[in-house]
């Protein structure tokens, strides 16, 4: 991701009086092109009844800059992304050092952890999601270099 | 000055649910607070991997026993948005009525807990006695006092007869009159004012900077309320967000006191405006599997909740995420605790109305 452009866009939201509404990560399962999977990360902002978001595709080795310099409250979401997804968020204003959630499994929402669970379910005959869900138009993430902004449907 | 670290929680008389704040003190003053949550993280969001989307709503409403109706509603609204399902009008009005009843019971629960925290046992019992009557209404209309399971993707499972709605309104108005006496104690008793007034002040600027939502933000003078967006028929209800300007613990109490009255008024308006007559359609059932993603915002009793749902055309969702109001209010809570006296920490924490089950999912 283009760190400078991303942070500049975040700062625009900050100066525009937007409130950080949510940072959300979704794991994308591994494919031939991306054998280790990836993450679809959304930074959502609210101002009154308006709601907008930025979206980035993040690779397992990518560094994601913290936005806590602009939005101090981001630290909870960013610590959550680290602990549940294993996303490498750097520059947090409050680093909880992996102590936010007490989970029995490390990074339980990472693509590899999800795949392992689904494969274990399949082996045990437990009905669950497939490791190869059908491709859908929305699943194509925005280019890493240009953060995509949008409004929800 | 020598610093002392005092763990606040996970078990504490004012905390109905576990959370830890490591309070770093200089003498009696808190200079820093480090939160640890996660004691009741259940990984409910992970269950989308093996619970079909038609059943997931029943899991979602179990995120929390206080906000269960709103969680169920938020999930269904999200799927309806993705699947472009039009919800019958009567079902939407019923949802609005139940949502406001839910707000009343949540505020009464919290007001009782607040009274208990500052040592007013009698007030606690009055609030919870009234809340029991609200739960009776829930039980009579949905079949459940805590988990209602009345929301369906595409509508609601049950109707409330017109006669029953009229009886509910009469009972709510009687309760509203009764509540005025209790509310006047909260707002006029000098010992409560002494205990809460000027304590834990959050300015409007600080509330914005910490992304605060709900009654907590409104008590700091920010007129934020997701219902103003008009979704789910709130555009047909006349109301203005209730705000206070002091930003202290007392203001947060007063906002919730006034919101109980406001919710009764909203229910009155809804019953007046909804189409009369039983036997109307209540549900348009979903067909096929959802494809797409959506963000849904609702105003829960504690503030804005955001649901993110992503579906890939299978019967299992790809992602479900609930960002609850308590999660959003934790940064403000930490900020408020810094600089306060140790004895004020319980009241400050309680006045954000923390719901840890919601926060940790």
pLDDT tens per residue, range B132-159? 999 999 999 998 888 888 999 999 998 8
CATH topology of domain B42-328: Cytochrome-c3 Hydrogenase; chain B (1.10.645)
CA atoms within 13 A on the CB side of B359: 25
> Residues B313-359: pLDDT tens digits?
888 888 888 888 988 898 888 888 888 888 888 888 888 778 777 77
Taking the Cβ of residue A75 and every Cβ of chain B, the question of whether any pair is shorter than 8 Å is answered with yes
Within 8 A of A10 by CB-CB distance, chain B residues are none
What's the pLDDT score for residue A141? 39
Residue of A72, A134, A151 to mutate for B, most B C-beta atoms under 10 A: A72
- Nearest CA to A73 out of B5, B320, B223, B326 is that of B326
Nearest Cα neighbor of B126 from B188, B184, B64 is: B184
Place of tokens 């409130």: A19
Q: Would you call A14 an interface residue with chain B, using a CB distance cutoff of 8 Å?
A: no
Average pLDDT over residues A37-49: 88
How many independent structural domains does chain A possess?
Answer: 1
Q: What's the pTM?
A: 0.87
| Mean pLDDT within A65-70 | 91
User: How sure is the predictor about A136, in pLDDT bands with cuts at 50, 70 and 90?
Assistant: low
User: For residues B276 and B101, what is the distance between their CA atoms, to the nearest angstrom?
Assistant: 20
β strands within chain A, DSSP E: 19-28, 38-47, 50-58, 63-65, 88-90, 148-150
CB A81 within 8 A of CB A41: yes
**Element at B90 (helix H, strand E):** helix B89-117
The pLDDT of residue A140 is 42
Residue of A41, A69, A76 to mutate for B, most B C-beta atoms under 10 A: A76
| Residues in CB range of B92: below 8 A, 6 or more apart | B232, B233
**B50 to A129: CB separation less than 8 angstroms, yes or no:** yes
pLDDT at A99 over 80: no
Q: Where are the domains of chain B?
A: 42-328
What does the pLDDT read at residue A134?
A: 66
- pLDDT for position B129: 92
Q: How many CB atoms lie within 10 A of CB B229?
A: 17
Residue A135 binned pLDDT confidence (cut-offs 50, 70, 90): low
Provide the pLDDT confidence category of residue A34 given band limits of 50, 70 and 90.
confident
- The string of DSSP letters for B305-329 reads EEEEEEEESSSSEEEEEEE-HHHHH
Size of the A and B interface in Cβ pairs below 8 Å: 116
pLDDT value for A145: 36
- Of the two residues B51 and A101, the one the predictor is more confident about is B51
The pLDDT value recorded for residue B77 is 93
Q: Is the CB of B38 less than 8 angstroms away from the CB of A24? A: no
| 8 A C-beta contact, residue A48 and residue A107 | no
pLDDT at A147: 38
Q: Quote the pLDDT of residue B314.
A: 85
**Which of A103, A128, A136 minimises the CB distance to B41?**
A103
Nearest CA in chain B to A69: B209
A108 touches chain B (CB under 8 A): yes
A103 contacts in chain B (CB < 8 Å): 38, 41, 43
- Residue segments in chain B with a per-residue pLDDT below the cut of 70: none
Q: What pLDDT score was predicted for residue B80?
A: 92
Average confidence (pLDDT) over A55-63: 87
* Chain B residue with the nearest C-alpha to that of A39: B319
> Could you tell me which residue, A133 or B342, shows the higher pLDDT?
B342
Q: Do B313 and A136 touch (CB under 8 A)?
A: yes
Q: Tell me the residue range of the domain where A113 lies.
A: 3-150
Alpha-carbon gap, residue B36 to B324, rounded angstroms: 17
Residue A146 has pLDDT above 60, yes or no: no
Mean pLDDT throughout A23-43?
82
Pairing of strands B303-312, B317-323: antiparallel
pLDDT band at A150 (very low <50, low <70, confident <90, very high): low
- Hey, how many other C-beta atoms are within 10 angstroms of the C-beta on A110? 21
Tell me the nearest-neighbour CA distance from B182 into chain A, angstroms: 33
- Determine the residue of chain A that is closest to B329 in CA distance: A73
Q: Looking at CA atoms only, how far is residue A129 from chain B in angstroms?
A: 5
């Amino acid at each position: 991701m283009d760190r400078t452009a991303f942070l500049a866009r975040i700062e625009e939201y900050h100066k525009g009086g937007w409130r950080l509404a949510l940072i959300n990560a979704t794991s994308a399962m591994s494919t031939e092109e991306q054998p280790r999977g990836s993450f679809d990360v959304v930074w959502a902002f609210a101002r009154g009844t308006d709601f907008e978001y930025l979206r980035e595709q993040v690779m397992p080795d990518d560094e994601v800059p913290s936005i806590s310099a602009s939005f101090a409250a981001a630290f909870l979401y960013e610590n959550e992304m680290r602990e549940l997804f294993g996303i490498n968020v750097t520059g947090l204003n409050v680093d909880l050092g992996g102590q936010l959630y007490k989970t029995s499994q490390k990074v339980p929402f990472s693509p590899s952890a999800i795949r392992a669970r689904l494969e274990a379910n399949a082996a045990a005959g437990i009905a669950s999601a497939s490791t190869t869900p059908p491709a859908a138009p929305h699943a194509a993430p925005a280019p890493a270099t240009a953060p995509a902004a949008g409004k929800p449907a | 000055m020598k610093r002392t670290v005092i763990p606040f929680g996970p078990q504490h008389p004012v905390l109905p649910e576990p959370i830890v704040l490591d309070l770093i003190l200089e003498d009696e003053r808190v200079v820093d607070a480090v939160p640890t949550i996660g004691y009741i993280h259940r990984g409910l969001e992970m269950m989308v991997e093996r619970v079909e989307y038609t059943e997931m709503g029943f899991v979602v409403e179990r995120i929390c026993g206080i906000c269960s109706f709103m969680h169920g509603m938020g999930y269904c609204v999200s799927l309806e948005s993705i699947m472009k399902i039009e919800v019958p009008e009567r079902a939407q009005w019923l949802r609005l009525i139940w949502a406001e009843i839910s707000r009343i019971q949540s505020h009464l629960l919290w007001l009782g807990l607040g009274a208990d925290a500052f040592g007013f046992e009698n007030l606690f019992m009055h609030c919870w006695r009234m809340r029991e009557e609200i739960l009776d209404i829930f039980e009579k209309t949905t079949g459940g006092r805590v988990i209602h399971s009345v929301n369906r993707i595409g509508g609601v499972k049950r109707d409330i007869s017109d006669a029953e709605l009229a009886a509910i309104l009469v009972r709510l108005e009687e309760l509203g009159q009764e509540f005025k006496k209790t509310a006047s104690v909260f707002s006029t008793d000098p010992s409560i004012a002494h205990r809460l007034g000027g304590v834990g002040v959050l300015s409007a600027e600080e509330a914005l900077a910490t992304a605060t939502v709900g009654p907590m933000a409104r008590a700091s003078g920010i007129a934020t309320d997701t219902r103003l967006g008009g979704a789910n028929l709130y555009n047909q209800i006349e109301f203005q967000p209730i705000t206070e300007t002091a930003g202290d613990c007392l203001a947060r109490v007063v906002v919730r006191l006034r919101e109980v009255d406001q919710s009764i008024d909203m229910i009155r308006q809804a019953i007046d405006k909804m189409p009369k007559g039983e036997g109307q359609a209540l549900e348009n059932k979903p067909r096929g599997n959802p494809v797409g993603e959506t963000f849904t915002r609702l105003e829960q009793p504690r503030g804005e909740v955001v649901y993110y749902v992503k579906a890939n055309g299978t019967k299992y969702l790809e992602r479900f995420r609930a960002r609850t109001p308590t999660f959003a209010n934790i940064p403000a809570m930490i900020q408020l605790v810094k600089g306060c006296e140790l004895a004020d920490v319980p009241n400050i924490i309680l006045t954000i109305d923390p719901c840890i089950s919601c926060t940790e999912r």
